[in-house]
Amino acid sequence: MAESHAKVQKAGGGRFCCICNEKRAALKRPKTLEQICRECFYTVFEEEIHQVIMENQLFKPGERIAIGASGGKDSTVLACVLSELNRRHNYGLDLFLLSVDEGITGYRDDSLETVKRNEIQYGLPLKIVSYKDLYGWTMDEIVKIIGLKNNCTFCGVFRRQALDRGAALLKVDKLATGHNADDIAETVLLNILRGDIARLSRCTAITTGEDGPIPRCKPFKYTYEKEIVMYAYFKRLDYFSTECIYSPNAYRGFAREFIKDLERIRPRAILDIIKSGESFRIATSTKMPEQGTCERCGYISSQKWCKACVLLEGLNRGLPKLGIGRTRVSGKDQKKDIKQSSGMKSIASKQCGSLDF
Amino acid sequence: MQLTVEFGGGLELLCDSVKIHNVNVETPKGVQQLIMKDLLVWVQKNLIKERPEMFIKGDTVRPGVLVLVNDCDWELSGQLDTTLEEKDVVVFISTLHGG
């Protein structure tokens, strides 16, 4: 690639921004391969997200919106950009930060400190909901009982509900999450690799759960991770970057690495995978799970009990394997059992659920 | 050659959680100018204390690691062939950690 250039230019050397033609270029955009300066980058980065919000009608004036905030790069940049766009374009939104405290010492306690600083930096009210309060268990306590095998299953199932419950407490209309284009491309691939047709069909939707209590939306659906990190770096945003101490993340990590390898060869690949995901039409003969409500807690569920209740029942009865792998929930109907356990098996095989779709 | 090497986005965990390193890097013998390719070898040998596979893949940084030389994306300056000068600041940021 570079060898064809007779003289390699020094960083910041000769190249001008292809938008303003005045300042030195500071980065190469993966989406367009344009070379642009820092100021033009801020402008196009923010305005593209604004366009996505407008074209997809993600928000309505007067709505209360919770930003799912982990203290990591994506949610920190989302909080920063959304509060700026809300001011600049008069969205008329009431924004809140919503964090989940899983109870992981040395990881979540540190990242929550970052979120607390974000609360002050962006002037957004913060609500923290904890696993301990909601379920009576911290992840530290759960890991002590079940070890490091299926812990991500518990955490992922619990987090999804925790965010919904937190959103209900804040009385928000919608939850915005920081999932970026790389995350979504990765999830499309994972759902193909797992044969998870139900998730494959909805994982590229920019807004989900509109029939449920709290819809969720992803303003960064088309935003490259590289640009999010560059934005955070150039703006010196305060974010937390440590991998969860309990997350082996093997399967997802493999897909992530594959996406990153593809991006290096052809950055457009990320958007193209999303486009492919959007274009899939699920055959009408494919059996999709029916959505109902949990008989125990009333949360949306395709089974008699929602996954969180099954897992929690296991923990509280000292049978933590309940809901994991081939364990049976009720012994009445053999056929139903098999269906149930295979449904559970598919969640058991999922690694870290921090990317709930 | 005096350089500042900075790690972010979790990469600092590979070098005793120290983010900023002021270092003196010798230009290899018989070579006129130090380039990023040389620096990567040096960094891997002298600064990375654990899990080098999180930083290097093949002869370059692992995909997902951003590199900036004097706050400029190294994709604009020739990546591995980027030449380094006295007092340059080289930043490595992982994009692979958490959201």
Cβ contacts of B73 on chain A, cutoff 8 Å: 25-28, 230
Measured between CB atoms, which of A12, A226, A260 is closest to B70? A12
B74 inside domain:
yes
B52 inside domain:
yes
Cβ contacts of B79 on chain A, cutoff 8 Å: 2
In tens digits, chain A (357 residues) has pLDDT values of: 444 343 344 544 568 999 999 999 999 999 999 999 999 999 999 999 999 999 999 999 999 999 999 999 999 999 999 999 999 999 999 999 999 999 999 888 889 999 999 999 999 999 999 999 999 999 999 999 888 878 888 888 899 899 999 999 999 999 999 999 999 999 999 999 988 888 898 899 999 988 878 999 999 999 999 999 999 999 999 898 877 777 766 677 788 889 999 999 999 999 999 999 999 888 777 777 777 888 888 888 888 888 888 888 888 888 777 777 644 444 444 444 434 443 443 343 344 444 544
Give the bridge partners for A126, in sequence order.
Answer: A97
- The CA distances from residue A120 to A113, A115, A154, A163, B75, in Å, are 11, 9, 31, 21, 35
Size of interface A-B (CB pairs under 8 A): 113
Q: In A93-108, which positions are buried (b, 16+ CB within 10 angstroms) versus exposed (e)?
A: bbbbbbbbbbbbeebb
Instruction: For chain A, say whether B95 makes contact (Cβ under 8 Å).
Output: yes
What pLDDT is recorded for position A353? 40
Cβ contacts of B78 on chain A, cutoff 8 Å: 2, 5, 8-9
Dihedral of alpha carbons A110, A111, A112, A118, sign: positive
What pLDDT is recorded for position A328? 44
ipTM comes to: 0.95
Where exactly are the structural domains of chain A? Answer: 49-240+248-279, 292-329+336-348
Tokens of B95: 């994009």
Residue A332 neighbours by CB under 8 Å, 6+ apart: none
The conformational region for residue A24 under phi > 0 = left, psi -120 to 50 = alpha, else beta, is beta
What pLDDT is recorded for position A325? 62
Measured between CB atoms, which of A228, A234, A243 is closest to B98? A243
Instruction: For chain A, say whether B50 makes contact (Cβ under 8 Å).
Output: no
What pLDDT is recorded for position A266? 95
What pLDDT is recorded for position A77? 97
Instruction: For chain A, say whether B81 makes contact (Cβ under 8 Å).
Output: yes
B99 inside domain:
no
Measured between CB atoms, which of B77, B96, B97 is closest to A11? B77
> Of all residues in chain A, what percent are helix, strand and coil, respectively (each to 5)?
45, 10, 45
Tokens of B24: 């003196």
What pLDDT is recorded for position A356? 47
The owner of tokens 């309505």 is A60
Instruction: For chain A, say whether B99 makes contact (Cβ under 8 Å).
Output: yes
Closest CA to A348 of A337, A332, A320: A320
| CATH assignment of A49-240+248-279, among 3.40.50.620, 3.40.1260.10, 3.40.50.720, 3.40.50.10490 | 3.40.50.620
Q: Number of C-alpha atoms within 13 angstroms, CB side, residue A317?
A: 11
Cβ contacts of B98 on chain A, cutoff 8 Å: 70, 72-73, 111, 240-244, 354
Give the bridge partners for B52, in sequence order.
Answer: none
Q: How far apart are CA A149 and CA A108, in angstroms?
A: 20
What pLDDT is recorded for position B68? 97
What pLDDT is recorded for position A249? 61
Local structure of residue A241 (DSSP, 8 states): -
Tokens of A68: 């799912």
A76 in Cβ contact with A232 (< 8 Å): yes
Higher pLDDT, B56 or A330: B56
Residue A89 — φ and ψ, nearest 5°?
Answer: -110, 15
Q: How far apart are CA B28 and CA B40, in angstroms?
A: 13
A202 in Cβ contact with A278 (< 8 Å): no
B56 SS3 class: strand
- Could you tell me the residue range of the domain that residue B73 belongs to? 2-94
Instruction: For chain A, say whether B47 makes contact (Cβ under 8 Å).
Output: no
CATH number of the domain to which B88 belongs: 3.10.20.30
Distance from CA of A283 to the nearest CA of B (A): 33
Cβ contacts of A182 on chain B, cutoff 8 Å: 95
- Into how many domains does chain B fold? 1
Higher pLDDT, B31 or B26: B26
- What angle do the packed helices A307-316 and A151-169 form, to 10 degrees? 120
Give the bridge partners for B8, in sequence order.
Answer: B93
Higher pLDDT, A3 or B27: B27
Residue A61 neighbours by CB under 8 Å, 6+ apart: A91, A92, A93
